[in-house]
Amino acid sequence: MPHLVLDKVSIHYDGQPAPAVERVSIDVAKGDFVVLVGRSGCGKTSLLNVAAGLVTPSRGQASINGRGITGPGSDRAVVFQNDALFPWLTARENVAFALRLRGVRPAERARRADELLALVKLGDAGDKHIWELSGGMRQRVGLARALAAEPQFLLLDEPLGALDALTRERMQTTLLDLWTASHVGVLMVTHGIEEALVLATRIVVLAPGPGRVVRGFEPGFSRRYAAGEPVRSIKSDPAFAAARGELTDAIFEGEAA
Amino acid sequence: MTISSYSERPAARTETADGLSVPWSRPSARRKGVSARMVSAVTILLLLAAWALSARLQLVSPVFLPSPVAVWNKFIVVIKDGFVDATLLQHVVASLGRVFAALVAAILVGVPVGLAIGISTVGRGIFDPLLEFLRPIPPLAYLPLVIIWFGIGEPSKILVIAIAMLAPVALSTASGVRGVSRERVNAARSLGATRAQVVRHVVLPSALPSILTGLRIALGAGWSTLVAAELVAATRGLGFMIQSAAQFLVTDVVIMGILVIAAIAFVLEFAIRRIERALVPWAGRE
**Chain A residue with minimum CA distance to B204:** A88
pLDDT digits (tens, 9 = 90+) for A164-198: 888 888 889 989 988 988 889 999 999 889 999 99
Q: At residue A1, does pLDDT exceed 50?
A: yes
Cα distance between residue B187 and residue B202, in whole Å? 10
Distance (Å, whole) CA A120 – CA A133: 14
Residue A38 pLDDT more than 60?
A: yes
Work out the end-to-end distance of chain B between its first and last CA atoms, rounded to an integer number of angstroms: 24
Reduced to 3 states (helix: H, G, I; strand: E, B; else coil), residue A96 is coil
Q: For B209, which residue in chain A has the nearest alpha carbon?
A: A88
Q: Whole-angstrom Cα distance, residue B250 to residue B253?
A: 6
**Residue A240: predicted pLDDT:** 92
On the CB side of B11, how many CA atoms lie within 13 Å of its CA?
A: 13
Whole-number Cα distances in Å, A250 to A225, A235, A253: 24, 20, 5
pLDDT score for B175: 94
pLDDT, position A215: 87
* Residues B229, B154 contacting (CB under 8 angstroms): no
Cα B57 to Cα A166: distance, rounded to the nearest angstrom: 76
Type of residue found at B41: A
pLDDT at residue B234, as a whole number: 86
Q: What is the model's pLDDT at position A74?
A: 81
Residue among A72, A77, A80 whose CB faces B183 most closely:
A80
A61-72 average pLDDT score: 89
Strand pairing class (A76-79; A3-11)? unpaired
- Asked if A185 is an interface residue toward chain B (Cβ–Cβ < 8 A), one would say no
Q: Look at residues A145, A140, A161, A134 and name the one whose alpha carbon lies nearest to residue A86.
A: A145
Residue B7 has pLDDT above 50, yes or no: no
B16 — pLDDT class (breaks 50, 70, 90): very low
CA pair distance B33, B9, nearest whole angstrom: 11
Give the pLDDT of residue B254.
92
- Contact B198/B164 with Cβ under 8 angstroms? no
- Span A110-116, mean pLDDT? 92
**Tell me, what's the pLDDT at B286?**
62
Which of A38-42, A161-165, A250-254, B212-216 ranks highest by mean pLDDT? B212-216
**Quick one: which of B125, B109, B124 has its CA closest to B169?**
B109
The C-alpha atoms of residue B215 and residue B220 are separated, in whole angstroms, by 9
CA distances from A234 to A143, A177, A199, A203 (A): 24, 15, 11, 17
Give residue-wise pLDDT tens across range A69-92: 988 888 899 998 887 899 999 999
Confidence at residue A97, expressed as pLDDT on a 0 to 100 scale: 94
Cβ pairs bridging A and B (under 8 Å): 71
Interface touch A78/B280, C-beta < 8 Å: no
Amino acid symbol at B175:
S
Beta-bridge mates of residue A129: A90
pLDDT at B10: 41
Strand-strand pairing, A3-11 and A21-29: antiparallel
Judge contact between A174 and A24, C-beta under 8 A: no
Nearest C-alpha of chain A: how many angstroms from B172?
19
Q: Domain ranges for chain B, please list them.
A: 2-63, 88-279
Rounded CA-CA distance B171/B176 in Å is 9
Confidence band, pLDDT 50/70/90 cuts, at residue B224: confident
Residue of B nearest to A146 (CA): B191
Contact A172, A143 (CB under 8 A): no
Q: At residue B19, does pLDDT exceed 50? A: no
Averaged pLDDT for residues B202-215: 94
pLDDT at A213 over 80: yes
Q: Count Cα neighbours of B8 within 13 Å in the Cβ-side half-sphere.
A: 10
Q: Which of A220-224, B11-15, B59-63, B128-132 is the least confident region?
A: B11-15
Provide the pLDDT for residue A163.
84
Instruction: Give the chain A residue nearest B194 (alpha carbons).
Output: A101
At B32, is the pLDDT very low, low, confident or very high (cuts 50, 70, 90)? Answer: low
Position A121 confidence tier, pLDDT thresholds 50, 70, 90? confident
Residue B210 C-alpha, separation from nearest chain A C-alpha, in angstroms: 14
Instruction: Measure A214 CA to nearest chain B CA, in Å.
Output: 29
- CA A108, B182, A177, A117 dihedral sign is negative
Neighboring chain B residues of A73 at a CB cutoff of 8 Å: 190, 192
Which chain B residue lies closest to A97 (C-alpha atoms)? B191
SS3 A194: helix
What pLDDT shows up at residue A119? 86
Q: Among candidates A205, A194, A93, which has minimal Cα distance to B191?
A: A93
Strand order, beta sheet including A33-38 = A76-79, A153-157, A185-189, A33-38, A202-207, A212-217
CA gap A222, A198 in Å, rounded: 6
- Cβ of B282 and A131 within 8 Å? yes
Q: Which residues pair with A24 in a beta bridge?
A: A9
Q: Classify strands A67-68 and A21-29 as parallel, antiparallel or unpaired.
A: unpaired
Counting every residue written for chain A, the total comes to 257
Residue A202: which H helix or E strand, with range? strand A202-207
Spell out the CATH class of B88-279: mainly alpha
A98 and B192: CB-CB below 8 Å? yes
Inter-chain contact A74–B192, Cβ cutoff 8 Å? yes
> Is the minimum CB–CB distance between A76 and chain B shorter than 8 Å?
yes
Q: Are strands A33-38 and A202-207 parallel, antiparallel or unpaired?
A: parallel
Q: What is the dihedral of CA B189, B190, B191, B192, to 10 degrees?
A: 60
Reading phi first (left if > 0) and then psi (alpha if -120 to 50, else beta), residue B85 is in left
Is the ipTM here above 0.90? Answer: no
Report the C-alpha gap between A124 and A57 in whole angstroms: 42
The SS3 call for residue B151 is coil
Task: Write down the pLDDT at residue B129.
Answer: 93
Whether the predicted pLDDT of B9 surpasses 60: no
pLDDT of residue B31: 52
Q: Do B193 and A101 touch (CB under 8 A)?
A: yes
Cα–Cα distance for residue pair A233/A213, rounded to 1 Å: 31
Q: Give the model's pLDDT for residue B11.
A: 41
Q: What Å distances lie between residue A240 and A167, A198, A203, A234, CA to CA? A: 21, 9, 14, 7
Report the interhelical angle of B88-119 vs B251-279 (nearest 10°).
40
Q: What percent of chain A clears pLDDT 90, i.e. is strictly above it?
A: 42
Of A76, A88, A131, the CB nearest to B190: A76
Give the tens place of pLDDT for each residue, A132-174.
898 889 989 999 999 998 899 999 998 888 888 888 888 899 8
Residue B201 exposed, middle or buried by CB count within 10 Å (0-12, 13-18, 19+)? buried
pLDDT (0 to 100) of residue B1: 35
Looking at every residue in chain B, the average pLDDT score rounds to 86
pLDDT-derived band at A39 (thresholds 50, 70, 90) equals confident
pLDDT, tens only, B133-153: 988 898 889 999 999 999 888
A87 touches chain B (CB under 8 A): yes
| Per-residue pLDDT, B281 | 86
Chain B residues with beta carbon closer than 8 angstroms to that of A87 = 282, 285-286
